[in-house]
Structure 1
Amino acid sequence: MHARLQRRNAAFTLVELLVVIAIIGVLVGLLLPAVQAAREAARRMSCSNNFKQIGLGIHNYHSAYNQLPVLGTGTYVVGGRDLWDQPSPTTPSATGCSNHRLSMLVGIVPFIEQQALWEQISNPLAINSNGTPKSPPWQAMGPRPDERNYLPYVTELATLRCPSDPGTGLPSLGRTNYVACTGDSSYRSRDPYLNVNEQSEDSSVTLPYTPSTGSAQHSNAAHRGIFVLTKNMKFRDTLDGLANTIMCGEIATDLGDKDARTSLPTSGGVGVTGERKDCHLNPSFMKASLDPERPQFWIASIGVNSNWGRGYHWYDAMPVYGQMHTILPPNSAVCTDAGPGAGHGDLVATASSRHQGGAHVLMGDGAVKFITDSIEAGNSQNPVVYLGGSAATKNQTGAQSPFGLWGALGTRASKEVISSEF
């Protein structure tokens, strides 16, 4: 009898089991956010390491060739008008050249331990992305940048991807989360060889480019970053100091969800009132098109072009794919005056990320910094610096950046003193 009572007392009651389960549930609920935070911290560290590898690749490239990899390089169509124009896909020359559209990332491919991919790009390639033979072969340095049948263009490189960014698959090809910084001005960010009317193309300019005095003056006034589209740049051009100047920035890639940081409106340059505006005159005017209930997304009435997502082509130098500016604070909405093309005009696009509260940047000396969304960024409605600027609006040629500390970090030779922590 006594033994039976002892065995009964050794068992748990139902109440005791429920109490234990409740305690375990509370502990899991308390620990889960900490676990998630630890995982994100690990992803953020991995992202920073990727950027350091890219920085090392750029410095090794400069050591080998005494210049930076060119932003806007590759082969060209004789008689083509500008960087954006491509021959019709039905013409024999459609897949014949990259038309000076290749990103600076292409140049550093062999310097980030991707020699096999570089061999595919730098030599004629007799195979399609689906494995079928290609005859005649793809031209060395690749075809038009939206060609899905070209294997290197659909190749994703782990070094170019942030682990926190889930973007994958069509309509993108090979994605990148790291792009060149082209400074604190978006003026002619698509093509430095436009004529005085920034919305028109100079039909007299053909590839290979023969820059005129006018186009050179416009480029010198507005293109103030370490990288300048189609131009051979060197570290010695960065007079403000490599440690004080952003060389590359992190971007979030588009997920097809109308994220204002990553998707380009098909009504670019037209606010909700229907008034036509230019993003270089007011970089933040499209804030009026943000959803008040979800301020990171466009309102329902704003359409977006699903093929023009940020970071969709790792090898492409165009602003939507391969550039960022230090105009609007990190994770701000893009601003474009492209109209229905939503990618054919100037684009104000800042750094962005899937990390909480900011984004990484790569400084000229190779250091990786995390810039918060709250960095001092001046007046976001101020016109950008360009040749037509004036002292009254603080955007005349040679002016210090009107976009505060953030803008100053993007300029290579504007004599700003970086006195604040960032």
Structure 2
Amino acid sequence: MRFPPNSLRRPGGFTLVELLVVIAIIGVLIALLLPAVQQAREAARRMQCTNNLKQMALAVHNYHDTFLVFPSGHVQINDTYYGNWAIAILPYIEQQNLFNQYDHTTHCNTAANATVARTQVDEYLCPSDAISSPIYRPASGYSYDLRVISYKAMSGYTDDGAKNWDHFAEITGLSGSWKGIFHTVGSGHSQSLGFEKMASVTDGTSNTLLIGEYHQPQDEPGRSSFWGNSYWGYNLGMVINEPYIIGNQYDDCAAVASNIGVCRRAWASHHPGGFNFSRADGSVSFVPETIDLTIFAGLATMAGGEVADL
């Protein structure tokens, strides 16, 4: 019996086994490609974050060119808090209208200023942050919700988490050589500090830190950094001689810290391995979370006489 020539050919299409093999191969390829895609996305986010810091550093320089001093970390008169560095540089990041809406004659905890401070400023947000531009109410008795910022300005160095450069009640006992560029300015508690000039940065602008990343704590939203808030360094930070504060979550830090203040001023980010930081010369560097704190402290001061570099 003879069969037609085509009758012995296999039917068209995949067999079940072949289909499973193809699916498995596709799955392996996706598994191999996904980390590369994620790394590429993170690299792009980190680049945007670096650009944000460069824009802010340039704005600080433009402010200095205009007023011949750096903007303050924040302004404190007795126990009343007014503007801060993030508000001061708004005109130099194309936010003049927002700057004009803010009432600079009164403190930040008012309904009018809080309305302004809930505005999103793209340059103040790192795209790697887990929550994009949330609005929270700051801790310490604030009446209004404010929008967060992904960054803090460097106010200097301290050897004690209970002492800092953003409140006159706590400056006593800190060495003047430990000051950073963005400490508090004004008077109170028998203390006073003025604005800093470029000539004051005797450590060298390339050896002095300016603005860096601050990790927004997910379980302590009131401890976030807020660009429109100047009370007790919500957008100020310093280097503190406690090694576990770098790169950690707020709750991890609070579990082991000798003073909760160190956790409120910790430097960290969502970038793997460290965080970005601008310098007084306008450059931006990546600070590894394993950095020697002695080096980090030397970079935090503007006139400490240390020899330090990243």
Query: Would the aligned equivalents of 1:310 and 1:320 in 2 still touch at CA under 8 Å?
Result: no
Q: Which structure's relative contact order is higher, taking Cα pairs within 8 Å and 6+ residues apart?
A: 2
The yes-or-no answer on 1:119 pairing with 2:100 is yes
Aligned to 1:166, the other structure's residue is in SS state coil
Q: Secondary structure at the match of 2:147?
A: coil
**Change in 2 beyond 3 A, CA 1:318/1:336:** farther
What secondary structure, in the 3-state scheme, does the structure 2 residue paired with 1:325 have? strand
Runs of 4+ in 1 over 6 A off after TM superposition: 345-348
Between the aligned partners of 1:233 and 1:32, the Cα distance in structure 2 is 48
Identity across matched positions, percent = 34
Q: 1:179 corresponds to which residue?
A: 152
1:412 correspondence with 2:307:
no
2:195 corresponds to 1:232: yes
Q: Do 2:207 and 2:279's aligned partners in 1 also have CA atoms closer than 8 Å?
A: yes
Residue 182 of structure 1 aligns to a residue whose secondary structure is strand
Q: 1:347 to 1:25 in 2, by over 3 A?
A: closer
Give how far 1:145 is off: 2.7
Stretches of structure 2 that go unaligned for 5 or more consecutive residues are 138-144, 186-193
Residue matched to 1:360: 276
What is the 5 A alignment of 1:87-106?
Answer: 99-106=80-87
Distance in 2 (alpha carbons) for counterparts of 1:417 and 1:73: 30
Q: Which residue of 2 aligns with 1:309?
A: 223
User: C-alpha displacement at 1:317, in angstroms?
Assistant: 2.6
Residue 250 of structure 1 contacts residue 352 of structure 1 at CA under 8 Å; is this kept in 2? yes
Distance 2:232 2:7 in 1: 81
Tell me the amino acid that sits aligned with residue 206 of structure 2: A
Count of matched residue pairs = 277
Distance in 2 (alpha carbons) for counterparts of 1:347 and 1:373: 15
User: Kindly tell me: are residues 316 and 336 of structure 1, through their superposed partners in 2, closer, same or farther at Cα, counting changes over 3 Å?
Assistant: farther
What is the Cα deviation at residue 336 of structure 1? 7.8
Could you list the runs of 5+ residues in structure 1 that have no partner in the other structure? 83-98, 122-139, 199-214, 258-262, 264-305, 339-344, 378-403
Partner of 1:290: none
**8 Å Cα contact 2:203/2:303 also seen in 1:** yes
- Give, in angstroms, the shift of residue 16 of structure 1: 0.5
Counterpart contact for 1:331–1:353, Cα < 8 Å: yes
Change in 2 beyond 3 A, CA 1:348/1:17: closer
Question: Which amino acid is the alignment partner of residue 162 of structure 1?
Answer: C
Structure 1 residues 148 and 38 mapped into 2: Cα distance closer, same or farther (>3 Å)? farther
C-alpha distance in 2 between matches for 1:319 and 1:161: 21
CA contact (8 A) 1:72 1:317 kept: yes
* Structure 2 residue aligned with 1:152: 116
The code of the aligned residue for 1:102 comes to G
SS in 2 for 1:101: strand
TM-score w.r.t. length of structure 1: 0.60
CA contact (8 A) 1:72 1:100 kept: yes
Contact kept? 1:188, 1:346, Cα under 8 Å? no
Higher strand share: 2
- Quick check: 1:61–1:108 contact (8 Å CA) kept in 2? yes
> Residue 146 of structure 2 aligns to which amino acid in structure 1?
L
CA distance in 1, matches of 2:262, 2:179: 15
Q: Is the 8 A contact 2:182 2:236 kept in 1?
A: no
Offset at residue 254 of structure 1 (A): 2.5
Contact 2:81–2:107 (Cα < 8 Å) also in 1: no
1:146 Cα deviation after fit: 3.9
In 1, are the aligned partners of 2:69 and 2:196 still within 8 Å (CA)?
Answer: yes
Classify the secondary structure of the residue corresponding to 1:248.
Answer: strand
> Which among 216, 220, 239 is matched to residue 326 of structure 1?
239
1:125-159 deviations in whole A, cap 9, x for unaligned?
xxxxxxxxxxxxxxx32754344563211112110
Q: 1:354 Cα shift?
A: 0.8
Q: Equivalents in 1 of 2:292, 2:211: separation in Å?
A: 19
1:191 counterpart = 2:146: no
